[in-house]
Amino acid sequence: MDIERIPEPDGRVALWAFEWGMGTEPPAKTNRQFLGYEQSVRPSTGQPGLIREAICWSLGRTLGNVAVFADEILQRLSNDLGEDEILACDIVEAGKMRNGAKRWWCRTHQHHWGTKADIANARNTGIIHCSNHTQAMSYVVNPISFCLEDYREVEIHCLLPAAVSSADHKESLRPRLHVKASSSAEHSEAIDSIVDALAVMYDPVDDLFSRSESNKIYITPPTAFDFIMGLETGLEMDCINCRDCGYPHLDIGEFGRTPHTKHLCSNCGRDNTWSRGPIASTPLKPLYDKNVYASQFIDAVGTLNIDDFEEVEIEIHATLPAVVWTAKRPQKRGVHVRLSRGSECFIDEVFGSVFFRGQQLQRGALLDQMISRTIV
């Protein structure tokens, strides 16, 4: 049982399963069956600006942030966004296995495909499914997208559950992204939105990823979470491009927390890329390093005793580094407190010392509480 790749006039590559009939000389291909289409590793040049695209990801994975642009995959997404859904496999050619047989890579579920068992299953079901196809995924179609240079200041933060809250939510929550962009003379509309995923474009002159043809970076909650945790702990991070497809490499999950030298590409499924030393690779690092102020912090000053206020709604967070920070000023480090009565928020500031129920709150302990309540 084998697979044949047949280019079609429209540029797509059809995958046909077949068997070798040994009753003729030379052997002929028999029992041919169409399985599906192989997708392109890169967007077609006939898709300027990518009129429609999506980002999909899964929590707890070691690879992710897949940009989906194939119409056949996009047409199967039932809504503009989804959570914990079963998505179609996005198959691309990925070289050969160790035994010389052809192999493919499912970008949706981050798993190789092409074993005899995979082919037999596809013949029985009529659908190409990788072995991870039941993995629950989240996605956003046409995520918010903007260019950094179009705004005076841009902040992108990874939102985690509050360490202390009068709302007293007991359940764990998924991280989300808070985008704040100050208007410039050319753009009168500022951005202040909480989203599940977004795409950030940057000036190609910056050449953040020398081998990549794209000037767009996709950001999802798990990517942002691992990045800010890496910044917080001083993890060795950098970004390398796949030596085969040129795609900027992203490590998340266990690989995003453990520096290593050999990297498996989430875009093309090839594992021929080595970094000079152990790193966790993320496209967010060169974007973060672009602004010298992003890595500068000042400790907040001021003291707040929450016990001085009666009948207030409380929300307390440890501050975290921004995922993207283009402001020309350092970030503040401390304890962020929001106090409100009804719809009126009268305190929303970062303090150096905060007292609550007779105890001084420690930023490290608050951060641990936030992480423990976050679904990653």
Q: Could you read off the pLDDT of 82-127 as tens digits, one per residue?
A: 888 888 898 999 999 888 889 999 988 989 999 999 999 999 998 9
Residues contacting 13, CB < 8 A, separation 6+: 5, 6, 7, 37, 38, 93
Answer yes or no: is pLDDT of 154 > 90: yes
What confidence score (pLDDT) does residue 49 get?
A: 46
What confidence score (pLDDT) does residue 207 get?
A: 63
Among the candidates 69, 103, 137, a domain finishes at: 137
Residue 196 falls within a domain, yes or no? no
Answer yes or no: is pLDDT of 183 > 50: yes
- Position with higher pLDDT, 95 vs 60: 95
What confidence score (pLDDT) does residue 362 get?
A: 97
Tally the domains of the chain: 2
Residue 222 falls within a domain, yes or no? no
Residue 156 falls within a domain, yes or no? no
pLDDT band at 332 (very low <50, low <70, confident <90, very high): very high
As a whole number of angstroms, the distance between CA 53 and CA 58 comes to: 17
Residue 145 falls within a domain, yes or no? no
What confidence score (pLDDT) does residue 65 get?
A: 57
Q: CA distances (Å), 138 to each of 5, 76, 242, 301, in order?
A: 30, 14, 25, 40
Among the candidates 137, 157, 191, a domain finishes at: 137
Residue 34 falls within a domain, yes or no? yes
Domain that holds residue 93: 2-51+60-137
| 331-333 vs 191-195, strand pairing mode | unpaired
Q: Hunting for tokens 């079609």 — which residue is that?
A: 8
- Position with higher pLDDT, 67 vs 191: 191
As a whole number of angstroms, the distance between CA 196 and CA 182 comes to: 20
Q: Which of 1-10, 44-53, 70-79, 198-207 has the lowest mean pLDDT?
A: 44-53
Residue 180 falls within a domain, yes or no? no
As a whole number of angstroms, the distance between CA 93 and CA 5 comes to: 10
What confidence score (pLDDT) does residue 67 get?
A: 76
Tokens standing for residue 183: 């208007």
The full DSSP string for 72-137 is HHHTT--SSEEEEE-----EEEEEE-TTS-EEEEETTTTEEE-SHHHHHHHHHHSS---TTTTS-E
Query: What DSSP element (H or E) covers 263?
Result: strand 260-263
- What are 231-264's pLDDT values in tens digits? 999 999 999 999 998 888 999 888 889 999 999 9
Q: Which of 40-44, 163-167, 220-224 has the lowest mean pLDDT?
A: 40-44
Among the candidates 137, 154, 185, a domain finishes at: 137
As a whole number of angstroms, the distance between CA 190 and CA 193 comes to: 10
Let me know: does 3 contact 16? Beta carbons within 8 Å: yes
Give the mean pLDDT of 172-181: 92
Residue 368 falls within a domain, yes or no? yes
Residue 214 falls within a domain, yes or no? no
Q: Is the pTM of this model over 0.85?
A: yes
Give the mean pLDDT of 347-351: 97
Let me know: does 209 contact 165? Beta carbons within 8 Å: no
